[in-house]
Amino acid sequence: MTTYFVTRHKGAIEWARAQGIEATLIHHLDPDTIKTGDAVLGTLPVNIAAEVCARGGRYFHLSLNLPPEARGHELSANDMEHFGAILTEFCIRKCE
């Protein structure tokens, strides 16, 4: 089983390290590579997160409580902590 952290943001990488998260860092996720039991951390489009779950993977969404003035700016690890960064597991499926 592999844990992937999907991000391009330096602050998010530093935040994860400070949290003791050990994961393979990737900038882009190919859902076809996910195997049962793999974990994917990050902020994925819902259709990709659903595919991760459909393939037997676990999806942990990185959430922040960002005020409007902080949006669109690179955040540091301290900023992320200040804005309540948290990883929460979601089970997402496509409705048929």
> pTM for the full model?
0.92
Tokens 């200040």 belong to 82
- Distance (Å, rounded) from C-alpha 37 to C-alpha 2? 8
Q: What angle do CA 43, 37, 10 make, to 5 degrees?
A: 30
Confidence class of residue 96 from pLDDT cuts 50, 70 and 90?
A: confident
Cα 25 from Cα 20, distance rounded (Å): 14
Give the per-residue pLDDT at 57.
Answer: 98
Measure the CA–CA gap between 42 and 86, rounded to whole angstroms. Answer: 10
pLDDT per residue as tens digits for the range 11-64: 999 999 999 999 999 999 999 999 999 999 999 999 999 999 999 999 999 999
Q: Where are the domains of the chain?
A: 3-90
Residue 69 has pLDDT above 90, yes or no: no
